[in-house]
Structure 1
Amino acid sequence: AAFTLLEPDLPAPRKQLIVDDCRPVALITESGPARGPQPGPPLDERLVRRTSPAAYVAYTSGSTGVPKGVVIEQAALENHVRRTIDWYGLTAADTRLLFSSIAFDLALEQICTSMTAGCELAFRDETFVYGGAEDFLHHCRRLGITVLSLPTGVFNRFGAELATSAGHTAPDLRLVMAGGEAPTQGAVAAWSNAAPQGTRVVNGYGPTETAVVVCYRDLLPGDAITIGAPIDDVRFRLEPLGDDGKATELVVQGVAVGRGYLGQAASSSAFCVLDGQWSYRTGDVATAQPDGGYRLHGRFDAQVKVHGGFRVEPGEIVSRLLSLDFVLDAVIVPFDGAGSRLLAAFVRLDDSRAPQPDPAAAIVRLLAAALPDYMVPSQVTVVDAFPLTARGKVDRAALLHRAQTRPGTDAEESADPTDTAGQLRLAWRHVLGSPPQDASTSFFAAGGDSIRAIELITQVHSRLGVRLRAAELYRTPAFDALARLLTDRRDGIPTAHHTTGTTLVRMRPAGQ
């Protein structure tokens, strides 16, 4: 049977959209199997079989406001698994880490290659989520991890930390792969030294509409960031874009290409026949390199990759915003921040209906209840009118500048630098777009996530001159508790994370 993977933490409305679209015959949960609500017809009847039975349905953001499910076949997944095992040189002596969210198709690369090659597969626990690079490598050493596959946002974030530290290594780590978007050269250089004898760094590329990863490339420190030639039984071609033909789009052909999208999105022009071959037009602008690889130059459509590799249709977020009865118009603008692409939302509101006193914070809460966290904008800004270009179109460049600069208020300019709570409040507002509603507000309940957490940590350090660990933010996300922790830190009262071995050590409920 084919399957689809549901992230347990997805908002209930999002889960329901997916279930209603793929109409499974059964739901498998922690408490056991249950019948699906209204089983749909076989996938072979809904989308024509190309080479083999369906393996899974992977969901990605849709421009119409509804997620799109692409059907990937068994032959495609099998080819990916076998080529990946060969590329990595996986054997039963390896130990892999299941790092990716189960809803991210990169999890299949970690699970299926381990099952096929006979690797040990270690599961990530909370310590991996909450710690920084030093803690992460500590747990990799503890488990003897030899091969890692990381979303690029995490790869870049940890790489930036490793570049500024010394002596933190994972001796058994022989290979780390970054997948989702382009890694930074600094992160590549830092990760290549993650093991004393050197670590092989691999750049992986593959859209959701193909079987996980369709090409790999080894990267050395200082190398240009490019993708490799396609794996066996997969082909790339470059299709001209525009009348002048100077820009070309990367097209994937061969066994890896999915059948298409379920439901209304099945008519998408992204899947098509070119020269008699079933093809997927990736939307990525690319040029061929003399060594057989390809350089990517961004996208020609509206899609963006955020938070280290999640592909998002801004139109889906706009549709959700416009479904709120007090939102008159909305524009989504991607911008660079905290080592990854983030999203900013600019909205015009019906003031007579807008929640008070903080409509931006209310919008974040409403979006978080309906969308995955990576689709919730990092910034929500209420505007009276959108800036326009000379031709009368929305001036996105002006909005981008506003998102990146985030100018402070008069109160911020005159804030007392010795007021820890006041500076934390300003840092909080800078990252989430609005201050905490009250002293007990949780950073994560207010719209924070792992990427925004790094932004807050950076803001705290620049404003207060103290180091806040990711683990500490996750343990004490409430504003008042976090303010007390930072006040103690500034007053010299010692605190420490459990893996550092200094001063106060948090007691563990079990184990040593």
Structure 2
Amino acid sequence: MHGDERLSYQALEYQANQLSHYLIEQGVSADMPVGVAFERGNTMLVAMLAVLKAGGAFLPLDPAYPNERLSFMLEDSGVDLLLTDSTLTAQVPCPNSIKSVYLDQQIMGSYSTDVPDVEFHQQQLAYLIYTSGSTGKPKGVALTHAGLSMHVQTIGERYGMTPDDVELHFASISFDGAVERWAVPLAFGSRLVIRDQALWSAEKTCDVLVQEGVTIACFPPSYVGPLLDWISYSKPNLKVRSWTLGGEAFTRETYDRLQQVLKPQRIINGYGPTETVVTPMIWEAYAETELSSAYAPIGTAVGERRLYILDPQLNRVPLGMSGELYIGAEVGLARGYHGRADLTAERFLPDPYGAAGERMYRTGDLVRWRDDGVMEYLGRIDQQIKIRGFRVELGEIESKLQLLSGAEHCAVVAHEAPGGKRLVGYLQQTDKAQITEFNEDVLLQRLAADLPDYMVPATLVVLAKLPLTPAGKIDRQNLLAPNWNELDDASYIAPEGETEVLLSQLWKTLLGV
């Protein structure tokens, strides 16, 4: 359901079948990508199901995304057909080479409501999801029917989904987690409530949770803060039995607030790169579960997936030691990157610990096994930088900063500065009193007690809110560098004596300042 528009399973099936027959008539067939661009609602769901039933692969396009990004996704994916509404022509730029079908102007009543007679194979393309690329251009991840089917079944069982459940669908449709959170409820006969295109306020979200009797709720951690504030204030009678957070780091402060405010039956931390079919790992916590680390663990495998922590030579590391996470599976991996054989070969490797022909995906995430058999996320391998000749893992600094500061969210960025790169820590604090009481010197001293001096940020910046990407993750590129001249002037102590003056001149010459 969306708003006042309610759709039964039978009506959803009939509408999707009718549209699928139309798509087959338009030439949609196996492995053919079809763009799907609608504002959030029932039509969005009908369109994606219809593309699957016709044998094609849907490419979900969020109209709220920037035009340049949408244009790139349409061109790079090679779609020939775009399903959309006539009201979105300005938001979703479609070149003349792509046929646009405006469903608000189409009448499908003459098409059969029967399931189309289409054959499928396991490795057939089901959908394309575009994720951020290191070159600045998004890359398309090609997901299969076998991977989606396996994941929907196994994650639904882990959630304990039943026809009595009601799930609020919240994530952007271009985010891979959104696919899981509509496919799973439908596969298990649950009721699905779709939020509006415009992001709801915490008050509106809370009202819907109560009015619709929502039992399964999934949010990005960055949205949960305001929601918990409102719930703490209004004390609504919620029926939510399971709260899932995913898409970005789940901090201990957020976890503690969830436990304090909601006293939930269960909390789930969902982890996974798009390339491994949404959430190949989850961590489940209950009312009595304590969290002592800075971030929630990423848990254990979902379904028939294999988890390896390996060193650069692909050897397993000892228990408790950190290494890079590789995920192996027979069907729980993407086919690869659309049109990027080079990148596919770089990230999807032969699995030396699996059966012949099986693959594993190199996540780029630094992790370790805990003594209790749960995996802990430590940061990104590609967040490693060199500071003063030392290789530094930014995620390790962020974890320590999070633990010591108690901030809602933290990020550490290496900015260019006079004399070379310098680290800057960013903290999100929405409590104005906490911001007022913030003592940078004390916190830096506490960091220095736990970290080498080259890993201690040069300065800390407190923000009311850290910038986020469209996917809801911290946007580090928009965390601007401080004014180094002002900082250096504020901490400058003039050299005294002949020796200090000489050393000062030598360092100025060496550093070019």
Task: Note if 1:140 corresponds to 2:206.
Answer: no
Q: Deviations over 1:19-70 (max 9, x none)?
A: 1111113111124999985579xxxxxxxx9952011111111111211111
Query: Which aligned pairs between 1:234-253 and structure 2 lie closer than 5 A?
Result: 234-241=305-312, 247-253=322-328
Name the residue aligned to 2:227.
Answer: 158
CA distance in 1, matches of 2:335, 2:327: 13
Task: Pick from 414, 418, 434 the counterpart of residue 387 of structure 1.
Answer: 418
Q: Is the 8 Å Cα contact of residues 227 and 295 (structure 1) preserved in structure 2?
A: yes
Name the residue aligned to 2:339.
Answer: 263
Q: Deviations over 1:76-103 (max 9, x none)?
A: 1111111121111111111110111111
Q: Return closer, same or farther for 1:63/1:123 CA change in 2, 3 Å cut-off.
A: same
Task: Pick from 175, 198, 201 the counterpart of residue 131 of structure 1.
Answer: 201
Deviation at 1:74, TM superposition (A): 0.9
The letter for the 1-side match of 2:325 is L
Look up the SS of the partner of 2:151 in the other structure: helix
Q: Return closer, same or farther for 1:26/1:343 CA change in 2, 3 Å cut-off.
A: farther
Q: Return closer, same or farther for 1:73/1:271 CA change in 2, 3 Å cut-off.
A: same
Query: Which aligned pairs between 1:230-379 and structure 2 lie closer than 5 A?
Result: 230-241=301-312, 247-254=322-329, 255-264=331-340, 266-268=342-344, 269-275=346-352, 276=356, 277-302=358-383, 339-340=408-409
Q: Is the 8 Å Cα contact of residues 68 and 265 (structure 1) preserved in structure 2?
A: no
CA distance in 2, matches of 1:404, 1:177: 23
Deviation at 1:18, TM superposition (A): 0.7
The structure having more radius of gyration, on CA atoms, is 2
Q: Deviations over 1:223-261 (max 9, x none)?
A: 342122211211111111389976411101102111111
Name the residue aligned to 1:412.
Answer: none
Aligned residues: 330
Look up the SS of the partner of 2:350 in the other structure: strand
Q: Return closer, same or farther for 1:33/1:168 CA change in 2, 3 Å cut-off.
A: closer
Look up the SS of the partner of 2:274 in the other structure: coil
Q: Is the 8 Å Cα contact of residues 137 and 170 (structure 1) preserved in structure 2?
A: no
Name the residue aligned to 1:183.
Answer: 250
Look up the SS of the partner of 2:332 in the other structure: coil
Q: Is the 8 Å Cα contact of residues 76 and 211 (structure 1) preserved in structure 2?
A: yes
Task: Pick from 157, 162, 165 the counterpart of residue 94 of structure 1.
Answer: 165
Q: Is the 8 Å Cα contact of residues 327 and 363 (structure 2) preserved in structure 1?
A: yes
Q: Deviations over 1:270-305 (max 9, x none)?
A: 22112143111101111112332211110111499x
Look up the SS of the partner of 2:248 in the other structure: coil
Task: Note if 1:212 corresponds to 2:278.
Answer: yes
Q: Return closer, same or farther for 1:130/1:114 CA change in 2, 3 Å cut-off.
A: closer
Name the residue aligned to 1:382.
Answer: none
CA distance in 1, matches of 2:366, 2:473: 29
Q: Is the 8 Å Cα contact of residues 168 and 192 (structure 2) preserved in structure 1?
A: yes
Task: Pick from 172, 181, 185 the counterpart of residue 110 of structure 1.
Answer: 181
CA distance in 2, matches of 1:172, 1:213: 24
Q: Is the 8 Å Cα contact of residues 175 and 199 (structure 1) preserved in structure 2?
A: yes
CA distance in 2, matches of 1:4, 1:340: 32
Name the residue aligned to 2:80.
Answer: 25
Deviation at 1:186, TM superposition (A): 3.2
CA distance in 1, matches of 2:144, 2:291: 35
CA distance in 2, matches of 1:178, 1:114: 17
Task: Note if 1:10 corresponds to 2:79.
Answer: no
Name the residue aligned to 1:80.
Answer: 151
Look up the SS of the partner of 2:334 in the other structure: coil
After TM superposition, the score normalised by the length of structure 2 is 0.56
Sequence identity percentage: 28
After TM superposition, the score normalised by the length of structure 1 is 0.56
Look up the SS of the partner of 1:78 in the other structure: helix
Q: Return closer, same or farther for 1:451/1:157 CA change in 2, 3 Å cut-off.
A: farther
CA distance in 2, matches of 1:143, 1:287: 40
CA distance in 2, matches of 1:289, 1:180: 22
Q: Return closer, same or farther for 1:303/1:89 CA change in 2, 3 Å cut-off.
A: farther
Query: Which aligned pairs between 1:50-61 and structure 2 lie closer than 5 A?
Result: 51-61=122-132
Q: Return closer, same or farther for 1:233/1:223 CA change in 2, 3 Å cut-off.
A: same
Task: Note if 1:149 corresponds to 2:218.
Answer: yes
Q: Deviations over 1:457-486 (max 9, x none)?
A: xxxxxxxxxxxxxxxxxxxxxxxxxxxxxx
CA distance in 2, matches of 1:219, 1:156: 19
Q: Is the 8 Å Cα contact of residues 192 and 200 (structure 1) preserved in structure 2?
A: no
CA distance in 2, matches of 1:189, 1:232: 29
Q: Return closer, same or farther for 1:432/1:218 CA change in 2, 3 Å cut-off.
A: closer
Task: Note if 1:222 corresponds to 2:290.
Answer: yes
Deviation at 1:386, TM superposition (A): 3.0
Look up the SS of the partner of 1:292 in the other structure: coil
Task: Note if 1:199 corresponds to 2:265.
Answer: yes
Deviation at 1:339, TM superposition (A): 3.2
Q: Is the 8 Å Cα contact of residues 24 and 38 (structure 1) preserved in structure 2?
A: no
Q: Is the 8 Å Cα contact of residues 244 and 269 (structure 2) preserved in structure 1?
A: yes
CA distance in 1, matches of 2:414, 2:371: 41
CA distance in 2, matches of 1:214, 1:430: 33
Look up the SS of the partner of 2:275 in the other structure: coil
Look up the SS of the partner of 2:250 in the other structure: coil
Q: Is the 8 Å Cα contact of residues 269 and 284 (structure 2) preserved in structure 1?
A: yes
Q: Is the 8 Å Cα contact of residues 157 and 338 (structure 1) preserved in structure 2?
A: no
Query: Which aligned pairs between 1:60-71 and structure 2 lie closer than 5 A?
Result: 60-71=131-142
Look up the SS of the partner of 1:263 in the other structure: coil
Deviation at 1:4, TM superposition (A): 1.3
Q: CA RMSD in A?
A: 4.1
Q: Return closer, same or farther for 1:143/1:113 CA change in 2, 3 Å cut-off.
A: same
Name the residue aligned to 2:502.
Answer: none
